Amino acid sequence: MNDFLRLLLAAGSLTPVLYSSALAADWLHYRGPSANGAAAEGPKLPSTPTAPILWRAQVGVGTSSVVVSGARLYTQGHSAGAEYTRCLDSTSGGPIWEFHHPVSLDPNLFEGGSRSTPTLSGDALYILSHEGHVHCLDAATGAVRWERHLVQDFAGRKPDWGFSGAPLVSGGRVYLDCGGPASSTVCLDAKTGEALWKKGSDAAGYAAPLILNVAGRSTLVLLKAAVLVGLQPEDGRELWRHAWKTSYDVNAATPLQVGPDRLLISSGYNAGATLVSVDASGVKEVWRNKNLRAHINTPVEWGGAIYGVDGNTGGGNLVCLDAATGERRWEEKSVKGGALVVAGGALIVVSEKGDLLVVEASPRGYKQLLRQTVLSQRTWAQPVLANKRIYVRDNQGNLACVGL
């Protein structure tokens, strides 16, 4: 038994099965296997103080994360006036194929480039540009199967910082936050790209759409520019809504399910966070405070605690909240900005300046298990743990694969 596993078992955080090598798994869409930022495997730390960098690659400017299926990795990035979708060998970083089309860099108070993360479903890869291009590509070759445009085809309204929410693929359908009049949310046929339905008129947010079982009902959940909405996936009929207004309409952190009928939403600019409960009568707030103000990246939940980056980019601190009450359990000021996921009782964090950290997921206090500098540029993209490797990329497109 390695020292990391022994430490967590002593803390009562997990059971040995979570560290079985058989649980190594793919990461097919933004927010991971269960769409909650939780990996299907736990990290096995090296015996040395640092983890080996297996390879590096340049994938273009942007904040797109990666998706991984076996020996293939997919991501988006901007280079030379175009948005590139790249397929790499996940074990070596070598190129397999690339697809590109003209898209502006659009550096609006940040580096610009690609905002959305690809979605892999079966043999198809779905991508979204910040200008609204939607493509379905053959995952094996990069060949275009179909394309649509949220603005040109569906009268979508591009948010100030561009379309960002990763395409949601479920049940043979693709769901997109479009933000247009009578087309706030768009549902397309996954094989053909034909519109199946268009509903609502709320302006688009920046978070990824989700389909969750909320209070026993399959629900399409979207955090729009000023409201959290729940829709019926089959036809877009609205089930409920809850107002959530943030400065500059920057609702970017994806909602997080915490229990069968509860959802956490959080935003920066001092908006704070709220845990809402959904039932047949509608939505009510369980708690609301400013103990977590997630500007861009989504918090995670583990063992009744919520972990996230509190504050706007450039200075937020890592915090832990009690999920039931919203009370802050601890704050760590040495971790500034960035993003995180959870994996078998451990937080995998990449700070805004490019440090990779593994931290015990415990409300009892901050316990750092590994920290090393992996990237050197501003880093906003979500880290990914897939098949015993951690993938991190910075806003300038420097992608690193870290071996565990």
| Per-residue model confidence as pLDDT tens digits over 338-349 | 999 999 999 999
Q: Which residue has the higher pLDDT, 18 or 179?
A: 179
Question: 183 pLDDT band (50/70/90 cuts)?
Answer: very high
Average pLDDT over residues 161-173: 98
Query: Are the C-beta atoms of 114 and 399 separated by less than 8 Å?
Result: no
pLDDT given at position 233? 98
Q: What is the pLDDT of residues 354-386, one digit of tens each?
A: 999 999 999 999 999 999 999 999 999 999 999
pLDDT at residue 16 greater than cutoff 70: no
Name residue 78's beta-bridge partners.
61, 83
pLDDT given at position 22? 33
pLDDT, mean over the chain: 93
Taken in order 89, 162, 28, 173, the sign of the CA dihedral is negative
Q: How far apart are CA 92 and CA 88, in angstroms?
A: 8
Average pLDDT over residues 52-76: 98
* Six-digit token string for 166: 């990763």
> Would you say domain 1-63+335-404 falls under CATH 1.10.760?
no
Q: What is the pLDDT of residues 92-111, one digit of tens each?
A: 999 999 999 999 999 999 99
Average pLDDT over residues 168-172: 98
Question: 24 pLDDT band (50/70/90 cuts)?
Answer: low
